[in-house]
Amino acid sequence: MTMHVVGGGVAGLAAAVALADAGRVVVLHEAAPVAGGRCRALPDGTDNGTHALLGANAAALGFLDRIGARAGWVEPEPDGLPVLDLRDHRAFRVALSPFGWVDRALRPPGLAGGALLALARLAIPGRDRAVGAAMAAHPEFHRGFVDPLVIAALNTPSEEASANRLGAVLRRLGGRGATRLFVARDGLGPGLVAPALAALQAAGGTVRFGARLRRLVTQGGRVQALDFGEDAMALGPRDAVVLATPPWESQRLLPHLDVPAAHAPIVNLHYAHPTPGPVRFIGMLDALCQWVLVRPTGVAVTVSAGDAAAREEAETLGPRAWAELREAALAFGVAGDWPAQAPPCRVVKERRATPRHAPGPPLRPKRLPLANLALAGDWTDPVLPATIEASVRSGQAAAKALLR
């Protein structure tokens, strides 16, 4: 019995490791020369994005434990998230947990009883609507806390973001340690992708890079063969497939699939600017930069829901973002030299980074659209938005469905 996993992103890696742990023979097929999908490392070693996990991400953190990578993830701001508001150039800290708001110094802007009640209502499932409309009566709290959370978690502007999707995130943030923020100390390559590949291979799995699936050969409601162009792999009666590809690729291979129609971009900027201090993580308001991640190897900026940034030329994005993050670094005493002149910058624009999570009934694709094929991918989770957590959950759910 051989389990073929098509797609070496986080969902595919999670599925492959789960199947190998269950004693199955696993072959992972990845079209690119490297694994990781949207969490891959770029050729120069930098991450394709500033990815963070919360303590509430039980599936993702459990996966890190399984592959022996948890020690590579650190909590950069245990005393509250540093935030620089460029509207008035005020620097302050915010507790991510409402329990931390007992301390006045850690309260988000605009916090009041009505705003807190409106946030609590968002956590209750009900008639879906846009987050912006739900928080319209509390503009300062929305601007300073809710909107950054929406953009980070849903990669969708608040004006069009689903309140029910945000509610699914909020309901997971009430447990002990649920709002603790973690980032990969050395990057997602060494902190997630490489350990997952090593764990898979240690469990007997095989990885094939440069293997783009051209066609699924199906008959009688089952996959009969995988056509990779020059070579085709026939499936035995007990063999199965996990399809862990982006939605447009999954629909190309299975045209009857209902997949997300609209996607939102993420723009990432990577500066060649080593720093001597510890890992730092800073949020910004009224800025091009939303999240600034400072590692010893360099500085990264993420612009989620970045429709405007995706249209802007890299030549202007780099210096503009650097001026902002430099002010933030100086405001919070980040170690190192912060010259006015921007260092070399690499701009990565992912125009279809995630689905746009708008109000309305979520997609609920069948986990088993064919008898021996299971779907995986962050876009297949009907509850959570497209995140690392949703990717791991979907991969493990696909493996479980096939093992049943």
* pLDDT on residue 39: 86
Residue 174 in this model has a pLDDT that exceeds 90: no
- What confidence tens digit (pLDDT) does each residue in 15-25 have? 999 999 999 99
Q: What is the mean pLDDT of residues 147-169?
A: 97
Directed axis angle between helix 113-122 and helix 163-170, to 10°? 100
- Alpha-carbon gap, residue 309 to 46, rounded angstroms: 20
Distance in angstroms (rounded) separating the CA atoms of residues 195 and 291: 26
Could you give the C-alpha distances from 50 to 166, 187, 369, 398, in angstroms and in order? 20, 9, 33, 27
Residue-range domains of the chain with CATH: 2-47+187-261+361-403 (3.50.50.60), 98-179 (no CATH), 263-355 (no CATH)
Q: How far apart are CA 69 and CA 190, in angstroms?
A: 8
Structure tokens at 285: 């308001």
Note the pLDDT tens digit of each residue in 330-381.
999 999 999 999 999 999 999 999 999 999 998 999 999 999 999 999 999 9
pLDDT score for 151: 96
Q: How far apart are CA 142 and CA 136, in angstroms?
A: 8
pLDDT at 391 over 90: yes
Give me the chain's average pLDDT, please: 95
Amino acid sitting at position 73: W
How far CA 108 is from CA of 77, 142, 200, 238, 386, in Å, comes to 16, 10, 43, 55, 26
Q: What is the pLDDT of residues 29-73, one digit of tens each?
A: 999 999 999 888 776 666 776 789 999 999 999 999 999 999 999
In this predicted structure, the answer to whether residue 167 has a pLDDT above a threshold of 90 is yes
Q: Are 128 and 359 in contact (CB under 8 A)?
A: yes
Q: Which residue, 88, 319, 53, 7, is CA-closest to 180?
A: 53
Instruction: Kindly tell me if the per-residue pLDDT of 175 is higher than 90.
Output: no
Residues in the chain: 404
Tell me how far apart the alpha carbons of residues 312 and 325 are, in angstroms, rounded to a whole number: 18
Cβ proximity of 233 and 321 under 8 Å: no
**Whether residue 176 has pLDDT greater than 90:** no
Helix axes 163-170, 147-154, angle to 10 degrees: 90
375-384 core/surface letters (b: 16 or more CB in 10 A; e: else): bbbbbbbebb
CA–CA gap between residue 278 and residue 134 (Å, rounded) = 38
Task: Give pLDDT tens digits for 98-156.
Answer: 999 999 999 999 999 999 999 999 999 999 999 999 999 999 999 999 999 999 999 99
User: What is the DSSP-derived secondary structure letter of residue 196?
Assistant: H
Query: What is the DSSP secondary structure assignment for residue 361, as one 8-state letter?
Result: P
pLDDT at 44: 66
Q: How far is CA 397 from the centre of its chain?
A: 18
Separation CA 89–CA 364 (nearest Å): 44
pTM: 0.96
What are the backbone dihedrals phi and psi of residue 56, each rounded to the nearest 5 degrees, phi first?
-75, -15
User: Could you tell me if 51 and 165 are in contact, meaning their C-beta atoms sit under 8 angstroms apart?
Assistant: no
